[in-house]
Amino acid sequence: MALLFVVAVVASCVDTIAGGGGLIVLPTLLMVGIPPAIALATNKLQGSGGTLVASIYFLRKRIVRLSDIRLTVFMTFVGAVFGVWLVLQIQVTILNAIIPFLLMGMGAYFALCPQLGATDQKRRLGHGTFSLFVAPWLGFYDGFFGPGTGMFMTLALVSLWGHNLTKATAHTKLLNCTSNVSSLLYFLIFGQVYWGAGLVMLAGQVIGSSLGARIVLAKGSTLIRPVVATVCFLMASKLLLDVFFA
Protein backbone atom coordinates (compact mmCIF):
# COMPACT_ATOMS: atom_id res chain seq x y z
CA MET A 1 0.00 0.00 0.00
CA ALA A 2 2.89 2.36 0.75
CA LEU A 3 4.39 1.64 -2.67
CA LEU A 4 1.05 2.26 -4.40
CA PHE A 5 0.63 5.56 -2.55
CA VAL A 6 4.08 6.84 -3.62
CA VAL A 7 3.55 5.68 -7.21
CA ALA A 8 0.19 7.48 -7.31
CA VAL A 9 1.77 10.75 -6.12
CA VAL A 10 4.50 10.61 -8.77
CA ALA A 11 2.21 9.40 -11.56
CA SER A 12 -0.47 12.03 -10.93
CA CYS A 13 2.09 14.84 -10.86
CA VAL A 14 3.56 13.71 -14.19
CA ASP A 15 0.09 13.09 -15.62
CA THR A 16 -1.12 16.59 -14.72
CA ILE A 17 1.87 18.16 -16.43
CA ALA A 18 2.10 15.99 -19.55
CA GLY A 19 -0.16 12.92 -19.36
CA GLY A 20 0.97 9.30 -19.31
CA GLY A 21 0.39 8.59 -15.63
CA GLY A 22 -1.58 5.44 -16.41
CA LEU A 23 1.50 3.72 -17.80
CA ILE A 24 3.21 4.23 -14.45
CA VAL A 25 0.26 3.11 -12.34
CA LEU A 26 -1.07 0.13 -14.29
CA PRO A 27 2.18 -1.91 -14.40
CA THR A 28 2.58 -1.28 -10.66
CA LEU A 29 -0.91 -2.60 -9.94
CA LEU A 30 -0.14 -5.71 -11.97
CA MET A 31 3.25 -6.12 -10.30
CA VAL A 32 1.71 -6.28 -6.81
CA GLY A 33 -0.58 -9.09 -7.93
CA ILE A 34 -3.88 -7.42 -8.82
CA PRO A 35 -5.62 -9.26 -11.73
CA PRO A 36 -5.61 -7.33 -15.05
CA ALA A 37 -9.35 -6.59 -15.28
CA ILE A 38 -9.50 -5.37 -11.67
CA ALA A 39 -6.27 -3.39 -12.20
CA LEU A 40 -7.85 -1.53 -15.15
CA ALA A 41 -10.91 -0.64 -13.07
CA THR A 42 -8.80 0.40 -10.05
CA ASN A 43 -6.60 2.54 -12.30
CA LYS A 44 -9.69 4.41 -13.52
CA LEU A 45 -10.80 4.99 -9.91
CA GLN A 46 -7.55 6.57 -8.79
CA GLY A 47 -7.05 8.35 -12.12
CA SER A 48 -10.50 9.93 -11.89
CA GLY A 49 -9.60 11.41 -8.53
CA GLY A 50 -6.36 12.92 -9.80
CA THR A 51 -7.84 14.51 -12.91
CA LEU A 52 -10.82 15.79 -10.88
CA VAL A 53 -8.55 17.56 -8.39
CA ALA A 54 -6.52 19.15 -11.21
CA SER A 55 -9.72 20.15 -13.05
CA ILE A 56 -11.15 21.85 -9.96
CA TYR A 57 -7.87 23.73 -9.45
CA PHE A 58 -7.86 25.04 -13.03
CA LEU A 59 -11.56 25.93 -12.83
CA ARG A 60 -11.00 27.89 -9.61
CA LYS A 61 -8.08 29.73 -11.24
CA ARG A 62 -10.40 30.51 -14.20
CA ILE A 63 -7.96 29.01 -16.69
CA VAL A 64 -10.93 26.88 -17.78
CA ARG A 65 -14.54 28.07 -17.95
CA LEU A 66 -16.95 25.14 -17.84
CA SER A 67 -19.74 27.20 -19.41
CA ASP A 68 -17.62 27.56 -22.57
CA ILE A 69 -17.01 23.85 -23.12
CA ARG A 70 -20.10 22.05 -21.83
CA LEU A 71 -20.83 20.47 -25.21
CA THR A 72 -17.19 19.37 -25.55
CA VAL A 73 -17.30 17.73 -22.12
CA PHE A 74 -20.59 15.97 -22.90
CA MET A 75 -19.40 14.59 -26.24
CA THR A 76 -16.15 13.40 -24.64
CA PHE A 77 -18.24 11.53 -22.06
CA VAL A 78 -20.37 9.91 -24.79
CA GLY A 79 -17.29 8.88 -26.77
CA ALA A 80 -15.69 7.28 -23.72
CA VAL A 81 -18.84 5.22 -23.00
CA PHE A 82 -18.72 3.72 -26.49
CA GLY A 83 -14.96 3.14 -26.19
CA VAL A 84 -15.26 1.17 -22.94
CA TRP A 85 -18.12 -0.88 -24.37
CA LEU A 86 -16.24 -1.68 -27.59
CA VAL A 87 -12.98 -2.66 -25.87
CA LEU A 88 -14.77 -5.66 -24.38
CA GLN A 89 -16.00 -6.76 -27.80
CA ILE A 90 -12.86 -6.79 -29.97
CA GLN A 91 -9.10 -7.28 -29.85
CA VAL A 92 -6.79 -4.26 -29.55
CA THR A 93 -3.58 -5.89 -30.80
CA ILE A 94 -3.44 -3.65 -33.89
CA LEU A 95 -3.59 -0.53 -31.74
CA ASN A 96 -0.83 -1.97 -29.55
CA ALA A 97 1.44 -1.91 -32.59
CA ILE A 98 0.38 1.46 -34.03
CA ILE A 99 0.13 3.74 -30.98
CA PRO A 100 3.88 3.69 -30.07
CA PHE A 101 4.77 5.19 -33.45
CA LEU A 102 2.07 7.86 -33.11
CA LEU A 103 3.47 8.75 -29.70
CA MET A 104 7.03 8.99 -31.03
CA GLY A 105 5.82 11.26 -33.81
CA MET A 106 4.02 13.44 -31.29
CA GLY A 107 7.08 13.59 -29.06
CA ALA A 108 9.26 14.65 -31.99
CA TYR A 109 6.66 17.27 -32.95
CA PHE A 110 6.74 18.85 -29.49
CA ALA A 111 10.54 18.62 -29.24
CA LEU A 112 11.30 20.08 -32.68
CA CYS A 113 8.72 22.89 -32.66
CA PRO A 114 9.93 25.29 -29.94
CA GLN A 115 7.15 27.80 -30.67
CA LEU A 116 4.37 25.22 -30.47
CA GLY A 117 1.94 26.37 -27.81
CA ALA A 118 4.13 29.26 -26.69
CA THR A 119 1.25 31.70 -27.18
CA ASP A 120 -2.40 31.55 -28.19
CA GLN A 121 -2.90 31.18 -31.94
CA LYS A 122 -5.84 31.53 -34.30
CA ARG A 123 -8.55 28.91 -33.71
CA ARG A 124 -8.92 26.53 -36.65
CA LEU A 125 -12.14 24.79 -35.55
CA GLY A 126 -15.18 26.31 -33.92
CA HIS A 127 -16.47 25.04 -30.59
CA GLY A 128 -19.42 23.18 -32.10
CA THR A 129 -17.39 21.49 -34.84
CA PHE A 130 -14.67 20.43 -32.41
CA SER A 131 -17.23 19.15 -29.90
CA LEU A 132 -19.18 17.09 -32.42
CA PHE A 133 -16.36 15.69 -34.56
CA VAL A 134 -13.18 15.66 -32.43
CA ALA A 135 -14.16 15.41 -28.75
CA PRO A 136 -16.07 12.09 -29.14
CA TRP A 137 -13.01 10.45 -30.70
CA LEU A 138 -10.76 11.70 -27.90
CA GLY A 139 -13.16 10.24 -25.33
CA PHE A 140 -13.56 7.06 -27.36
CA TYR A 141 -9.81 6.55 -27.50
CA ASP A 142 -9.45 6.90 -23.73
CA GLY A 143 -12.26 4.45 -23.06
CA PHE A 144 -11.09 2.01 -25.72
CA PHE A 145 -7.32 2.06 -25.27
CA GLY A 146 -5.99 4.89 -23.09
CA PRO A 147 -2.19 5.34 -23.36
CA GLY A 148 -1.32 8.86 -24.48
CA THR A 149 -4.85 10.25 -24.13
CA GLY A 150 -3.71 13.39 -22.31
CA MET A 151 -1.09 14.15 -24.95
CA PHE A 152 -3.52 13.58 -27.83
CA MET A 153 -6.00 15.94 -26.15
CA THR A 154 -3.33 18.59 -25.56
CA LEU A 155 -2.12 18.40 -29.17
CA ALA A 156 -5.71 18.70 -30.45
CA LEU A 157 -6.34 21.78 -28.31
CA VAL A 158 -3.07 23.42 -29.32
CA SER A 159 -3.41 22.70 -33.04
CA LEU A 160 -7.19 23.05 -33.52
CA TRP A 161 -8.23 25.56 -30.83
CA GLY A 162 -4.98 27.55 -30.86
CA HIS A 163 -4.50 27.33 -27.09
CA ASN A 164 -1.08 27.88 -25.57
CA LEU A 165 0.33 24.83 -23.79
CA THR A 166 -0.65 25.98 -20.31
CA LYS A 167 -4.27 26.58 -21.29
CA ALA A 168 -4.38 23.39 -23.39
CA THR A 169 -3.05 21.32 -20.48
CA ALA A 170 -5.68 22.81 -18.15
CA HIS A 171 -8.51 22.02 -20.58
CA THR A 172 -7.06 18.55 -21.15
CA LYS A 173 -7.44 17.73 -17.45
CA LEU A 174 -11.17 18.49 -17.56
CA LEU A 175 -11.71 16.40 -20.71
CA ASN A 176 -9.54 13.59 -19.35
CA CYS A 177 -11.46 13.68 -16.07
CA THR A 178 -14.69 13.31 -18.07
CA SER A 179 -13.46 10.25 -19.97
CA ASN A 180 -12.03 8.73 -16.78
CA VAL A 181 -15.28 9.13 -14.87
CA SER A 182 -17.25 7.74 -17.80
CA SER A 183 -15.03 4.65 -17.91
CA LEU A 184 -15.14 4.29 -14.12
CA LEU A 185 -18.94 4.29 -14.07
CA TYR A 186 -18.94 1.48 -16.61
CA PHE A 187 -16.48 -0.54 -14.53
CA LEU A 188 -18.49 0.05 -11.36
CA ILE A 189 -21.59 -1.35 -13.08
CA PHE A 190 -20.03 -4.22 -15.03
CA GLY A 191 -16.64 -4.80 -13.43
CA GLN A 192 -14.85 -4.94 -10.11
CA VAL A 193 -12.69 -2.39 -8.29
CA TYR A 194 -10.04 -3.17 -5.68
CA TRP A 195 -11.21 -0.51 -3.24
CA GLY A 196 -8.33 -0.86 -0.78
CA ALA A 197 -5.66 -0.03 -3.34
CA GLY A 198 -7.90 2.40 -5.19
CA LEU A 199 -8.62 4.60 -2.18
CA VAL A 200 -4.98 4.62 -1.02
CA MET A 201 -3.88 5.67 -4.51
CA LEU A 202 -6.70 8.21 -4.69
CA ALA A 203 -5.15 9.97 -1.70
CA GLY A 204 -1.79 9.98 -3.49
CA GLN A 205 -3.44 11.31 -6.64
CA VAL A 206 -4.87 14.27 -4.74
CA ILE A 207 -1.41 15.27 -3.54
CA GLY A 208 0.39 14.68 -6.83
CA SER A 209 -2.20 16.34 -9.07
CA SER A 210 -2.37 19.41 -6.80
CA LEU A 211 1.41 19.76 -7.05
CA GLY A 212 1.38 19.18 -10.81
CA ALA A 213 -1.35 21.76 -11.42
CA ARG A 214 0.64 24.41 -9.54
CA ILE A 215 3.77 23.55 -11.52
CA VAL A 216 1.85 23.92 -14.80
CA LEU A 217 0.77 27.47 -13.93
CA ALA A 218 4.19 28.41 -12.54
CA LYS A 219 6.39 27.00 -15.31
CA GLY A 220 4.04 26.94 -18.32
CA SER A 221 5.25 25.79 -21.73
CA THR A 222 8.95 25.93 -20.75
CA LEU A 223 8.38 22.82 -18.64
CA ILE A 224 5.38 21.22 -20.36
CA ARG A 225 7.02 20.87 -23.80
CA PRO A 226 10.13 18.88 -22.74
CA VAL A 227 8.13 16.76 -20.28
CA VAL A 228 5.53 15.91 -22.95
CA ALA A 229 8.25 14.98 -25.45
CA THR A 230 10.07 12.83 -22.88
CA VAL A 231 6.92 11.07 -21.68
CA CYS A 232 5.87 10.40 -25.29
CA PHE A 233 9.12 8.57 -26.04
CA LEU A 234 9.09 6.68 -22.73
CA MET A 235 5.49 5.57 -23.28
CA ALA A 236 6.26 4.53 -26.86
CA SER A 237 9.24 2.49 -25.69
CA LYS A 238 7.17 0.82 -22.98
CA LEU A 239 4.40 -0.10 -25.43
CA LEU A 240 6.87 -1.44 -28.00
CA LEU A 241 8.51 -3.61 -25.36
CA ASP A 242 5.08 -4.95 -24.42
CA VAL A 243 4.36 -5.82 -28.07
CA PHE A 244 7.66 -7.58 -28.81
CA PHE A 245 8.25 -9.26 -25.46
CA ALA A 246 4.69 -10.13 -24.44
Tell me which residue of 47, 60, 37 sits closest to 16, measured CA to CA: 47
pLDDT class for 118, splitting at 50, 70, 90?
Answer: low
What confidence tens digit (pLDDT) does each residue in 59-104 have? 998 889 988 899 999 999 999 999 888 876 765 566 666 767 777 7
Number of neighbouring beta carbons within 10 Å of residue 70: 12
Rounded distance, CA 81 to CA 142, Å?
A: 10
Nearest to 178 by CA among 86, 80, 39: 80
> Comparing C-alpha atoms, which of 39, 54, 22 is closest to residue 197?
39
Closest CA to 153 of 143, 200, 144, 141: 141
- pLDDT digits over 34-47, tens only? 887 788 788 888 88
pTM score, whole prediction? 0.83
- Domain-wise residue ranges, the chain: 2-245
Taking the C-alpha atoms of residue 42 and residue 52, their distance in angstroms, rounded to an integer, is 16
Contact (Cβ atoms closer than 8 angstroms) between residue 15 and residue 235: no
* Res. 117: pLDDT tops 60: no
CA-CA distance, 75 to 244, in Å (whole number)? 35
Lowest-confidence pick of 29-38, 96-105, 119-128, 170-179:
96-105
Other Cβ atoms closer than 10 A to 86: 13
Cα distances (Å, whole numbers) of residue 72 to 61, 154, 169, 173:
20, 14, 15, 13
Report the alpha-carbon distance of residue 46 to residue 24 in Å, rounded: 12
